[in-house]
Amino acid sequence: MAGLPIVLLVHGMGTHPLDNMTREFKAGLSEAAKGFNIKEFDIDEHMELVEFNYSETLDNIRKKLAKEAKGILDQFEVLPDNQLLERLLKFEANLDEDEFIYTHWLDVLLYGGAYYGEKIRVELANKINGLLKRAKGAQVHIIAHSLGTAVVHDTLEKLYRAEATPGDNIPDLKPGVDSIYCLWTFANVSRMVDILNGVTPDETIVRSGPNGCTHTMYNIRHELDPFTWYKTYKPDIEHGRNFVNNVVRVKNTHSFQEYVADPEVAQYLLLELTDLQEPKLSKNLTDCKKVHRKTSLNGMYDKIDAATKKLRKGDVESIADLMVAIDAFEDKVKALKED
């Protein structure tokens, strides 16, 4: 008899203390379960949560660069365009002034544009392979957020290869045979990061169905999440679904916990990860939506929408443009007053 589903959580950009993503996932899904009228929901009774945390690796790289006074640009193998180079020079000169830029964009650049990404991918590949072996018939799900979607996407491309690379320490898995059960991507930035590292081929193995690496795939983004504006990930999904959320309950529209708590997304999480019957009832979904929307910030969607409309409809045609747009987005949203 198969055991509990194993759920691998892969965090996004920024500094993430160990188990932080687990806490956010539990908080978001537990709130939704309550909204679905599920009594005494204990997530640990339904699934085994496992984290892959690469935050410490990137933190150590940042500290090492600072200690050795090495320039950020020296770490990159390829810089795609002069505009990005110019932006990075300004970025490097002002690191101490902007913690958000420092912990978020530097992670994207160190993972995608420098040579540190391969180490992270090998570690994750071995983690996934180990979980599939240990599962012994139980479902294995992968849930990734933000930069974690690119880390997962790139790693799965290397795990499920048509041709193996000798001596690269990456296991070789077969689509349809060794496939994971569900892949969940929140605020997917894998296409953006691919501009930097070129890991993803035109015909990606990261898709659902018999020829992909997962039986089912769910892709979720928020309409007002600025990290999803450039190279927006909108895959054709054979088994699964694309979701677009537009409820604003906190100003941080990139929040993983908020993504999970969304009733329509949480309904599928509960249906795929548990044997609970309550999420199947349409009345419970309606009730959960009502409760969820009651806690939204009054008029905040319209305010953010209006304040950032020009940014979203502007010329975000490169990663450098996106850096500028997200800087502006942060400033505009912080300035908005809550009613």
Weakest mean pLDDT among 2-11, 64-73, 85-94, 180-189: 85-94
Encode pLDDT of 225-248 as tens digits.
999 988 899 999 999 999 999 999
257, 182, 177: which is closest to 214 by C-alpha? 182
Three-class SS state of 165: coil
Three-class SS state of 316: coil
* Residues 244 and 221: beta-carbon distance below 8 Å: yes
H helix or E strand, kind and range, residue 82:
helix 82-93
pLDDT(1) > 50:
no
Encode pLDDT of 20-58 as tens digits.
999 999 999 999 999 999 999 999 999 999 999 998 888
